[in-house]
């Protein structure tokens, strides 16, 4: 084998080794988990605030940044009842795009101008609405046609430009059963980095968040109970309130 051929083979082996090392690195990424539950918002607020502070300062709907965090509480004027999955990176540039079966999402308690009467999803599940206690009143969030959804990250305000974040946390309401409601964290290649179950708090509030030592999370799969919101057969229906996550940076 000539010198140039040997050099080419060596370069290929070095590239493969580097890729393998990076893959091992991602799977071994260090992370911290914060979980909390309680009967009232005050019972989980300290843990929610602590997780938020670990992510950094809130960048609101500002331009892309190198550090800090973004948050969604659904309560701003203009968030529609039937919310598009990309609303929070097109209409409101916060770098989060939602995907679920049917691509339909609902945000409760819409402004009266929309002429939809809904209070904590009373238009979808009356019995459930009576026991939901918001973390930041009044609006709540849910996928419509499934209990599983995915949050994918993009550079804030840059549609289609994939990004990664160092952490993501969510407030969840009425988690009745242990181990059913989970958050799974994935890297750019779709490899699972962590899976954490939300603590049960029937009729109350739960918080779960995972923060990594660097921004390697490309998506988060959320499994909310074991059925979609419109079911009325006594299964575990879970909806979401506030989301908080690290600044999405270009992948």
Cα–Cα distances (Å) from 215 to 163, 233, 242, in that order, read 9, 40, 21
In contact, 206 and 200? CB cutoff 8 Å: yes
Residue 205 CA to residue 141 CA, distance in Å, equals 14
Q: Is the pLDDT of residue 240 over 80?
A: yes
User: What is the per-residue pLDDT for 233?
Assistant: 73
- Is there a domain that residue 152 lies in? yes
Mean pLDDT of the 116-137 span? 91
Mean pLDDT of the 168-197 span? 97
Residue 87 CA to residue 50 CA, distance in Å, equals 27
Instruction: Retrieve residue 26's tokens.
Output: 């991602």
- Is there a domain that residue 4 lies in? no
- Is there a domain that residue 5 lies in? no
User: What is the per-residue pLDDT for 251?
Assistant: 87
Enclosing domain of residue 140 = 30-250
Strands, DSSP E only, in the chain? 31-38, 69-72, 82-83, 96-100, 105-107, 141-143, 148-153, 163-164, 167-173, 182-186, 192-197, 205-212, 219-223, 239-246, 249-250
- Is there a domain that residue 11 lies in? no
At 48-104, the pLDDT tens digits run 999 999 999 999 999 999 999 999 999 987 899 999 999 999 999 999 999 999 999
In contact, 34 and 169? CB cutoff 8 Å: yes
Confidence category of residue 106, pLDDT binned at 50, 70, 90:
very high
User: What is the per-residue pLDDT for 27?
Assistant: 56
- Is there a domain that residue 52 lies in? yes
User: What is the per-residue pLDDT for 11?
Assistant: 40
> Residue 219 sits in a domain of what CATH number?
2.60.120
- Is there a domain that residue 24 lies in? no
At 156-166, the pLDDT tens digits run 999 999 999 99
Total-model pTM: 0.88
- Is there a domain that residue 136 lies in? yes
At 24-50, the pLDDT tens digits run 455 578 999 999 999 999 999 999 999
Residue 46 CA to residue 167 CA, distance in Å, equals 17
Q: Is the pLDDT of residue 16 over 90?
A: no
Residue 176 CA to residue 173 CA, distance in Å, equals 9
Mean pLDDT of the 158-183 span? 97
The H or E element spanning position 6 is helix 3-27
User: What is the per-residue pLDDT for 82?
Assistant: 94
Give the chain's largest Cα–Cα span. Answer: 77
Q: How many domains does the chain have?
A: 1
């Amino acid at each position: 084998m000539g010198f140039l051929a040997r050099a080419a083979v060596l370069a290929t082996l070095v590239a493969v080794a580097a890729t393998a090392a990076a893959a091992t690195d991602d799977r071994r990424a260090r992370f911290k988990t914060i979980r909390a539950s309680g009967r009232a918002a005050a019972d989980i607020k300290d843990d929610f605030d602590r997780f938020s502070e670990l992510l950094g300062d809130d960048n609101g709907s500002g331009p892309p940044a190198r550090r800090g965090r973004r948050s969604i509480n659904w309560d701003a004027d203009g968030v529609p009842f039937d919310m598009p999955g990309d609303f929070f990176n097109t209409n409101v540039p916060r770098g989060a795009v939602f995907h679920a079966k049917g691509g339909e999402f609902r945000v409760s308690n819409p402004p009266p101008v929309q002429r939809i009467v809904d209070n904590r999803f009373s238009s979808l599940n009356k019995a459930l609405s009576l026991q939901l206690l918001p973390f930041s009143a009044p609006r709540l969030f849910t996928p419509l046609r499934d209990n599983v959804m995915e949050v994918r990250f993009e550079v804030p305000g840059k549609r289609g430009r994939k990004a990664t974040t160092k952490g993501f946390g969510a407030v969840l309401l009425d988690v009745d059963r242990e181990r059913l409601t989970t958050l799974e964290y994935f890297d750019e290649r779709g490899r699972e980095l962590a899976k954490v179950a939300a603590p049960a708090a029937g009729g109350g509030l739960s918080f779960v968040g995972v923060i990594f030592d660097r921004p390697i999370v490309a998506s988060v799969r959320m499994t909310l109970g074991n059925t979609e919101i419109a079911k009325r057969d006594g299964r575990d229906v879970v909806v979401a309130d506030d989301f908080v996550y690290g600044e999405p940076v270009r992948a």
